[in-house]
Amino acid sequence: MQAIWRLSAADLAGLIRERKISAKQAAEAALSRLEAVNPALNAVVDHRPDEVLAEASAIDAALARGDDPGPLAGVPVTVKVNVDQQGFATTNGVTLQRELIAKVDSPVVANLRKAGAVILGRTNTPAFSYRWFTSNLIHGATKNPRDPGLTPGGSSGGAAAAVAAGIGHIAHGTDIAGSIRYPAYACGVHGLRPTLGRIPAWNASSPERSIGPQITAVSGPLARSIGDIRIAFAAMTQPDPRDPWHVPAPLEGPAVAKRVLLCLRPDGLKIAPEIEAALRDAGERLQRAGWQVEERDAIPPLREAAELQTRLWLADGYEAMLALAEREGDPGALACLRGNREQAQGIDLAAFSGLLTRRATLTRQWQMFFADWAVVLMPVSGELPFADQLDLRDDASFKRVWRAQMPQIAIPFVGLPALTVSTGLVGRIPVGVQLVAGRYREDLCLAAGEAIEAGGVPASPIDPVA
C-alpha cells in the first residue's frame, strides 16, 4: 500500500472505519510528513502533536466501541489561522492578535470534528487575509511547493501549499475575493467556494463582522481530488445556530440539462495563451463526458460586480481597517488598502445603499442566466500564477494583479458558488479553470469538475521543489 499520507481522504476514512489502518497511524504519518516538508514551506504555523495524537486515539476508541465516528473518520485536516480553534490563537496573520485565544471552536471546525476529522495544524494567511500572496510579520512567508518563486496564492496560501505537499488530506480555507480559488490554482489543487450560508461561520473570539464580509465571505475546502472536496464540503455544511446566515439547502439540486457556457474572456478580460488552451481543453473534456459546451462572450456583468465587491469588502469600515494595518505595519496589507483607497474611501449611506441595491439587480441577472445553463466555464485569473510578492514591486504591478483577478473577485458579490479545477502544468507552473453555477448548485460545479478532472490533473501530493 502507498504511504498513508498520500491516500485520498475518502480512501483513508474507509480504511480507518474498516480498522485496516488506525487513526493514530494516520496521525503519525501526517505528523511525520509535516515535520519532513513544512520547514521548506511554512504552510502550517501552529500545531501540537500530542493533541493530534489524542484526537486520533479518541477516533480509534470510538471505533472499538462500535460507534461511527463520521465520514471523515480519522482523516488529518488543516484549518486556517483566521477561524477559531479552541485553545489556539486566531491570529489572522496579525501580530496584534497573537494573544487572541479561542475559547470554543468556530462552527466549521466543530463540524469537521463532528465528521471525525483530526485537526492536524493551522495554516498561514497574509495579514488580515487581504492578499493573493501569503506573508506576514507574525508567521513569515509561505512558499509554493511546486515552485518557490511563485506565490502559493492567498489568502488561503498555507492551506493550498499544505494539501499540495501532502500535509493533511483536506484543507480548510476562506474566500471573500478568491482566497480559496486562487491558492488552489497557484498550487495545483482543487478548491471550492460555496454559496453564502452553506457552511456556518462565526468567530466568538472576535467582534461581529461588518455587513460586507458577512454577506460575501465563506469557508470551503481545498483538496487533491474532487471526491475529497465533496466529502469535506458535506461535512462542513452541517447546521449551527450560531450563524444567522446559514441555509439548510439540500446538497443535490434537481436534474438540469448538462449545458456549459465556455467564456474565455469575460467582460473583455485579457488572458494568457496558456489559460485559453486550458479552458478549451477543459471544454473538450466536458464534451467527451457528455456535456453540451457552447462558446460565448455574452454573460451577465462580472467587471462591474468585481469593482463593487472591492468597494463593499474594503469600504465597509475602511478607515478602521487602515488604522489597524498601519499599527501592524504589514507591507502587504498596507499595499492592498492604500492601493484601493480611491474605491474604498468616502462611501456614505446613500452610496452604500445604492451598492446593495445594484447587488440585487446583478444577482437576479445571474440567477436568470442560470435558468438556461448548468455551469459557466471561465478563467480563474487572466494570468498564470504570479511571481511571489509581485504586488509589492510597484504601482503598475499592483494594478496588474488586481486586473487579472477580476473573475474571482466578482463571484462573491453575486453570491454564486465556484470551483477551481487544476488541469495541468506549464513547465512547473500550475494552470486550471473556474466553474461557476447558480446559488446552492455546488453539485453542478462538482459534477463538471469530476468530468474535467478525469482528463488529467497535476500529480499530487508532491515534495517541495527547491
User: Is 399 one of the catalytic residues?
Assistant: no
Give me the count of residues in the chain.
Answer: 466
User: Is 397 one of the catalytic residues?
Assistant: no
3-state SS, residue 271: coil
The C-alpha atoms of residue 83 and residue 348 are separated, in whole angstroms, by 30
The C-alpha atoms of residue 147 and residue 386 are separated, in whole angstroms, by 11
DSSP state letters, 160-197: HHHHHTTSSSEEEEEESSSTTHHHHHHHTSEEEEPPTT
Residue 190 grid cell:
482543487
The C-alpha atoms of residue 267 and residue 37 are separated, in whole angstroms, by 41
The C-alpha atoms of residue 284 and residue 457 are separated, in whole angstroms, by 15
The C-alpha atoms of residue 22 and residue 24 are separated, in whole angstroms, by 5
Burial 210-237 (b: 16+ CB within 10 A, else e): eebbebbbbbbbbbbbbbbbbbbbbbbb
The C-alpha atoms of residue 261 and residue 23 are separated, in whole angstroms, by 43
**Helices within 289-329 (DSSP H only):** 303-315, 318-328
Phi and psi, residue 180, nearest 5°? -100, -45
Residue 261 grid cell:
457556457
Residue 86 grid cell:
479552541
The C-alpha cell 474532487 sits at 226
Burial class (CB in 10 A: 0-12, 13-18, 19+), 405: buried
- Beta carbons of 115 and 132 less than 8 angstroms apart: no
Kindly tell me the sign of the dihedral angle through the C-alpha atoms of 44, 46, 48, 54. negative
Q: Which of the residues 80, 143, 205, 381 is marked catalytic?
A: 80
Q: Which of the residues 106, 129, 135, 155 is marked catalytic?
A: 155
The C-alpha atoms of residue 353 and residue 419 are separated, in whole angstroms, by 30
User: Is 179 one of the catalytic residues?
Assistant: yes
The C-alpha atoms of residue 15 and residue 37 are separated, in whole angstroms, by 25
Residue 258 grid cell:
448538462
Q: Which of the residues 106, 179, 381, 422 is marked catalytic?
A: 179
Q: Which residues contact 10 (CB under 8 A, 6 or more apart)?
A: 225, 227, 228, 231
Q: Which residues contact 32 (CB under 8 A, 6 or more apart)?
A: 5
Kind and range of the H or E run holding 33 = helix 23-41
The residues that are catalytic are: 80, 155, 179
